[in-house]
Structure 1
Amino acid sequence: MKKILILSTALCGFAASAQADITVMGWGGAYANSQIEAYFKPFTAATGKKVVSVDSDNPATPVKSQVEANNVTIDVAVLEIADAVRLCDEGALVPFDFSALPNGADGTGAEDDFIAGTLTECMIPTDIFSTVVAYDASKFPDAPPTSIADFFDLEKFPGKRGIRKNAKTTLEMALMADGVPAAEVYALLETDEGVDRAFAKLDTIKKDAVFWEAGAQPPQLLADGEVVMTTAYNGRIFNAVQLESKPFAIVWDGQVFEWEGMAIPKGAPNEADALELIHFATASEQLAKAAEFISYGPPRKSSASLVGNIQGKEEPMGPNLPTDPANMTNALGSSLDFWVDRDIQLNERFNAWLASN
C-alpha cells in the first residue's frame, strides 16, 4: 500500500510533489481531515494510488487561473455549488456522466439516491451544511423552542435574536416561520407579495434583532448572552457544543441547506484517476464515514443509516446532521438560480429595511 502524502501549502507550492497520482485541492482544517480519513486513505488502500491534499482559501480561484493559463496541476477541486456552476458555465470544469456513479448502498440508482437538486453537471456533492436556528438551552429549561415559528415568537420566548445581515436564507426562514411550506417558498419570493410578506414577518422581531455577518459570531453572541436565539451555521453550533461544552441546541425545522462537492478542472493531468477517486469518495459508505468527522450531512439518502458515532465519542453523529431524516421534515434547499437572478435586488431591499425605523 502506498503512503498518502498530506500537504498544507501556499498556493505557489501545491505542485511540489511530482510523485502524486492525484492532487485534491480543498478547504483545509477539519474539513480536509474528514476527507483524508474517509476518502483518501481508503482509496489508497484499495487502489495503491497516492493522493495529495492541498489547502486553499477558495479552490475556485486557482482553478480558474490555472485553466485560463492552460497550466492545470489540480486533479480534483472541492467547490461550493455556486462556484461550481459558474466555472462549469465558463467551460473550466469537466462534465460528469451521472449514470456512471455507483448505486447507493441500498441499491438505489445514484440519480435518485442523491438529494434532489444536489447533482449538477460539473460537480458531485460530498456534503451538506445548513443555516439553522440555535438557542441557549439554559435560557429555556422547561419548554424550549421547537419550530422556526418560535424564533419569531417574542412573547413565548422573550429575548434578543441574532439574524444574518443578508437577505439570503433570512427571507426564506421568515416565510417558513409565517406558515409557508418549504416547497412553496421560492415561488412566493418571486412575487412582490411574497417579498413584502417576508419583510413584514421580519418587522415583528426587528426591534429585538442583533445582526451578524461572520459565521463565528452567532455562537459568540449566544455565549456572551447578547442573544437567546440566533440563526447560525449548523457546524459552528456543533463545534461550540462538542469542543467548548456550550449549552446550545439546534432547531432543525425551517433549516436552509446548501452543499459543496468535487469537480475536475478541464485539463487536469490525471483526469481518469480523478474520476475514479470521485466515484469512490461519493459512494454511500465513504460519504457516511466523512460525516462522522464533521457535522456536514452526506448528500446520499442511503448514507443516513450508515453514519456512526462522532469520532472519538460514544455519541451518534446522525442527529447532528442536516440530512438526518428527522431533521429534513421541513427543510429547504437553497436555490442557486433564484439568488443568481435576485441577489442584488433583494439585498438592496434588505439594506434599506435595515436603515429604516
Structure 2
Amino acid sequence: MRKTLMVALAVFGQAAGTLASAKLAFAGDQLTIVSWGGALQASLRKAVFEPFTKASGIKITEGEYSGEIAKVRAMVDSKTVSWDVLDASGTTAWTMCAQGLLETIDWKKLSLDRAKFGDVGKYDCGVPVQVSAVIVAYDKDKLPNGPKSISDLFDTKKFPGKRGLSKGPVPNLEWALVADGVPINDVYKVLRTPEGVDRAFRKLDTIKKDVVWWTAGAQAPQLLADGQVLMTAAYNGRITNAVKESGKHFEIMWDAAAQGWDYWVIPKGSPRLDDAYKFLAFGGSPQPQADLTRYIPYGPSNKDALALVDPAVLADLPNTPERDAIALHADNIFYIENGDDLRQRFTSWLAK
C-alpha cells in the first residue's frame, strides 16, 4: 500500500506540480465523476477515486449513468455541464468525440507516455481506462472437453446443444466471419462490404435455431449454471466472479475474445477542466490501473501496469500479451458509421 501511494503521488506531482502546492491551490475542490455503477464503480472507488482524493485533496462526487449520449449533449448544448469526467465505453466515447461533445485531450498536460497505451491510445478525446471482453464460456463439469476456437461455437455436430448469445450484432457478426474462415485482422474489412454482411448472417443462420438470446450480462452465467445452454457468450468478469463467488467450474475460451475499452473523457465545457486533467493523469498511470485488477478482472490500458499486476490475477485478464494476440479488437469507427443499419438488419433477421 505504501508503494502504491508513493507511485500515485509521483505521477500526480508530474501532472500538477508538487503535491503540496496542489493541495494548497485546490483545497475544497471537487469533481463529479460518472461511471456505470455496480461492481465496476465499486472497484474504481477503491482503486482510483479514493487514492486520487488522498493524493490530491480533490474530493469526488460520484454519479451513475448507462452511457446516454443525449444527457451529455443536453448539458453541452445548454452550457450547463455538471459532469466533469465520464467513464465511457468505446463506441460511446468515439461517437461523443465525433459529435464535438468532449474536450480534445492535450497529452502534454498529462505527463503520460501515450505510446504505452498502444492503438487504443490513438483516441483524441480521452485516456483509456480498462478493457473487458466478451468471451465464450462453458461448464467443465458438463463439458470436460470444451470448445477450443470460435469455430466450435458454430459446430453443432461436434457440440450439439444450445448456445447463449448476446441479442445484438456485436460480436456475433464478427464471430460468424471468423468461424467462416475470415482472418481476424480482416473481419472489419469484410464487414464493410454488403457481401461480407450477407456472409456473416448466412453463418449465423446455421446456429439460429440453437441460440438462446440474452440481453443482460447477469443472464449468461445463469443460463450456464441452469444447464439451459452448453456454452455461452459472456462478459469475462461475470464468469470469473461466478467461479470465485459461487464455486462454479466454468471455463473461459479466449479465442477471438471481443475486447471492449472504456475511456476517461471530459464533457466539453467542464468548469473544472484543470482538476479533470489531474484525474485523467492519475487514472491513466500504471499503479491505479494495476490496483483496479485486484477488485475486478478487467485489464489495464497502460502497458506498464501489467508488470505491477499480481501474477495470480493475470490469469483472469483479457489483455495479457498471449490473449491480446488472438483477440478481436473492436473497430469503433466502423460501428459509428454502420451500427444503426446493422442493428436494424439484425432485428429483422431475428424476426424471420
TM-score, with length taken from structure 2: 0.85
Q: Is 2:79 the counterpart of 1:77?
A: no
Task: Return the offset for 1:258.
Answer: 1.4
Between structures 1 and 2, the one with greater helix share? 2
1:351 equivalent in structure 2: 347
Match of 2:207 in 1: 205
Distance 1:89 1:328 in 2: 27
Counterpart Cα distance in 1 of 2:92 and 2:201: 29
Residue 51 of structure 2 aligns to a residue in which SS? helix
Contact in 2 for aligned 1:304/1:325 (Cα 8 Å): no
RMSD: 2.3
User: How far apart are 1:226 and its partner, in Å?
Assistant: 0.9
d(CA) in 1 for partners of 2:65, 2:345: 33
CA distance in 1, matches of 2:268, 2:343: 34
User: Is the 1:60–1:79 contact (alpha carbons within 8 Å) kept by the matching residues of 2?
Assistant: no
**Aligned partners of 2:141 and 2:321: how far apart in 1?**
27
Contact 1:168-1:343 at 8 Å conserved across structures: no
CA distance in 2, matches of 1:321, 1:236: 12
Map 1:216-295 onto structure 2 (within 5 A).
216-295=218-297
1:59 and 1:340, CA in 2 relative to 1: closer, same or farther beyond 3 A?
closer
- Correspondence for 1:127: 130
| Distance in structure 2 (CA, Å) of the matches to 1:20 and 1:149 | 53
Give, in whole Å, the separation in 1 of the partners of 2:349 and 2:66. Answer: 32
Which whole-Å CA distance do the structure 2 matches of 1:319 and 1:269 have between them? 41
Q: Which residue pairs with 1:136 in the alignment?
A: 139
SS state at 2:299 partner: coil
Show the 5 A alignment for 1:39-118. 39-58=48-67, 60-103=69-112, 109-110=113-114, 112-118=115-121
Where does the alignment leave 5 or more consecutive residues of structure 1 unmatched? 2-17, 104-108, 310-315
For structure 2, the residue ranges without an aligned partner over 5 or more in a row are: 6-26
Contact 2:120/2:128 (CA < 8 Å) preserved in 1? no
Give CA-to-partner distance per residue, 1:236-276, whole Å, 9 cap, x none: 22222222222211111111111112111222222111101
Residues 119/284 of structure 1: CA separation in 2 closer, same or farther (3 Å cut): farther
The residue type paired with residue 243 of structure 1 is E
Measured at CA, do residues 214 and 263 of structure 1 come closer, stay the same or move farther in structure 2, by a change above 3 Å? same
Taking the aligned partners of 2:271 and 2:68, their CA distance within structure 1 comes to: 17
Q: Say if 1:238 and 1:218 are closer, same or farther in 2 by CA, change over 3 A.
A: same
User: Is 1:134–1:251's contact at 8 Å kept on the other side of the alignment?
Assistant: yes
Q: How does 1:171-186 map to 2 (within 5 A)?
A: 171-186=173-188
Verify the 8 A CA contact 1:289 1:308 in the aligned structure 2. no
Q: Which amino acid aligns with 1:207?
A: K
Q: Work out the percentage of aligned pairs sharing the same amino acid.
A: 42
- What whole-Å deviation, never above 9, does each CA across 1:278-308 have from its counterpart, x for those lacking one? 1111112211111221122112222222212
**One-letter amino acid of the counterpart of residue 275, structure 2:** D
Q: Which residue of structure 2 lines up, in the alignment, with residue 331 of structure 1?
A: 327
CA deviation after TM superposition for structure 1 residue 61, in Å: 4.8
Partners in 1 of 2:61 and 2:341 — Cα distance? 42
Q: Verify the 8 A CA contact 2:152 2:159 in the aligned structure 1.
A: yes
* Cα distance change on mapping 1:128 and 1:240 into 2, 3 Å: same
With normalisation by structure 1, the TM-score equals: 0.84
| Greater shift in the superposed pair: 55-64 or 255-264 | 55-64
For 1:34, which of 36, 39, 43 is the aligned residue? 43
Residues 1:170 and 2:172 are matched in the alignment: yes
Match of 1:13 in 2: none
Q: Which moved more, 1:85-94 or 1:145-154?
A: 85-94
CA shift digits 1:170-197 (9 cap, x unpaired): 0101111223222100001112332232
Deviations 1:184-226 (A, max 9, x none): 0000111233223222322332232222222222112111111
Report the counterpart of residue 296 of structure 1 in structure 2.
298
Q: Distance in 1 between matches of 2:346 and 2:64?
A: 34
Using a 3 Å threshold, how does the CA distance of structure 1 residues 355 and 47 change in structure 2: closer, same or farther?
closer
Q: Tell me, in whole angstroms, the C-alpha distance in 2 between the residues paired with 1:182 and 1:234.
A: 20
Mapped partners of 2:345, 2:56: distance in 1: 53
Helix, strand or coil: the match of 1:328? Answer: helix
Cα distance in 2 for partners of 1:99, 1:306 equals: 24
Change (3 A) 1:117 1:40: closer
Q: Distance in 1 between matches of 2:47 and 2:129?
A: 11
Residue 100 of structure 1: how far off its partner (Å) = 4.1
For the residue of structure 2 that corresponds to 1:23, the secondary structure is strand
The 8 Å contact of residues 74 and 269 in structure 1, kept in 2 or not, is answered as no
- In the alignment, the residues of structure 2 paired with residue 67 and residue 333 of structure 1 have an alpha-carbon distance, to the nearest angstrom, of 30
Q: 1:47 to 1:145 in 2, by over 3 A?
A: same
Aligned residue pairs total 327
The code of the aligned residue for 1:126 comes to V
Letter of the aligned partner of 1:87 in structure 2?
M
Partner SS, residue 51 of structure 1: strand
1:44 and 1:350 map into 2 onto residues whose CA distance is 45
